[in-house]
Structure 1
Amino acid sequence: MRLIQCLHDGAPCAALVESAEEVRLLDADTYTLARRAMAAGQSLTEAVENALTPTRLDYAQLIDDKRLLPPLTHPDPAHCLVTGTGLTHLGSADTRSAMHAKTQVSEDELTDSMRMFKLGVEGGKPAPGEEGAQPEWFYKGDGACVVAPEADMPVPHFAQDAGEEPELAGLYVIGDDGSPWRVGYAIGNEFSDHVTERFNYLWLAHSKLRACSFGPELWVGALPAHLEGVSRIVRGNETLWEKPFLTGEANMAHSLANLEHHHFKYAGFRRPGDVHVHFFGTATLSFADNIRTREGDRFEISLAEFGRPLRNPLRFEADGTPVDVKSL
């Protein structure tokens, strides 16, 4: 089952994807449906089936009218936390071989990044009931940093790079008792400043404080272990860059359960009613191929199982003025 969210009569509303051409409207938004399912002890699938309306909408028209929304949102963006993990994917066979070679040196010679990657390879998929290796973790912002599918991806004036990161994102709602509930998964563009990060890895935190996007479709249910997608950048009417990418647990050093555990083990991330968007990492970047994006370039990230691609054009913001902090 796949869901979208769109604006209908001026309010967010979820819809069931019935085909590539048509969606069937539900009587509430995704957040409300998730809360209903929790309260009733139902699966989200059951809640969706009980929320179907007779109204069907043209999918392409929703896109043309810019009415698509992220497939899960919170009524108050401050109660949506956007985070992620890195160094989680094995990549292609060539990438995997190169990274493996880099780990076959003494512990003193390993970079911090390779040490983190090696920890994941050796201990990122623990047996049930055991705790695995901690992944790299980062914060992106609250719900205000999330850009809807098809909407412009803003680039701040101080950014040194504007690069895509094609990833899976897990979408969650915290129950009234503090238990995290996974609503589903979506295609994500985690979007980072790789030039800033490359200068010094201690600037990773700065490089991640950017916009992001996920959707347009929410995958409900068990996720395939092996997923093959395509990430591309379109400039004008031409494809500037294109590359396949692999994701899913079969292509990751960490299990999804391990990544979820190390995020939600913190009590502050289990606040009742909150929404969480957690990016699971990537192994494919146009930045690695020396691509530099510019105004109007469009990111397109697709996974066949997830329906329509996630698309966002770039918009570079004008120069800003220094922030003036006043004393009270």
Structure 2
Amino acid sequence: MTETPPTGGRPRFAVAPMIDWTDRHCRFFHRQLSREALLFTEMVVADAVIHGDRERLLGFDGAEHPLALQLGGADPEKLARATRIAAEFGYDEINLNVGCPSDRVQSGTFGACMMRVPDLVGECLQAMREASPVPVSVKCRIGVDEQDPEEALDRLADAAVAAGIGTIWVHARKAWLQGLSPKENREIPPLDYDRVHRLKRRLPRVFVGLNGGLATVAAALPHLARLDGVMMGRGAYQTPAELALVDAALAGGAPEPVDWRQVVQTMADYAEGHIARGGRLHHVARHMVGLFTGRPGARRWRQILSEAGSRHDARPDLLLDAFSEVDLGAPARAA
């Protein structure tokens, strides 16, 4: 399968930006499973880019391409400056976060609370676009709190388009800025995929991508009949083997067999380099815990990575030891 997206370009599959999850080690791992998926960094605050350790915040392995950086902020001048700095690192896309509802983001008056100030969002996006040699995009909600999603999303999208932005990623839920935790904001507000579909019909020349509640590749792909892209978050992180289905699904073919031993060996080699630079195996292995979900031996794999892999002196060959516990000959069970 896959239909040509409404804009006429190639359909796009993305892994969502997730704070504390989609760091450089996670992204390198995900790239072993899909060549085509657009990967996103964690959100990085513009002030941190300007004043912080840029290599630590922005550095990545060249294997991670295509890769988008997500910035957080509400000051057009600072966002432009952060964009210019980030551009030197070679990202393929730079994205503005207008969807995160966490308290620490709200305290900086950015993220989802910016849905209330679409004109400011437009100013921020225009400043970023003028500072960036690569495409700039925005990721938003359909609204916040008591906002009417019909009005709120249209106003945000119109501000983005007026700023010259051609890509809008939409988490198809409202965000409640008071009373719900970030986790609850990912689960409790009802999904409204039709609202995102209506936005696409209204803006046929704009790339519109869907995020929210897409737990599997099979669940995500049908939306490409009416949208330009789909974005998986927790589903991709918690059951990363799903990403091995992406490339063939986008091409309309059958998935190729995965050499799982080679995937684990590549990650062991990568971890060796990370440890040599002063890192720990846990920094890498923690992202791999769900790789064999549903297969016999997956529990033992998780146990070894979570327990032995957390030790300060854990070595990369632990990944291969854990892999030997997995029975790849038996069919995987539904997660």
TM-score by length of 2: 0.22
TM-score by length of 1: 0.23
Q: Which has the higher contact order (CA 8 A, sep 6+)?
A: 1
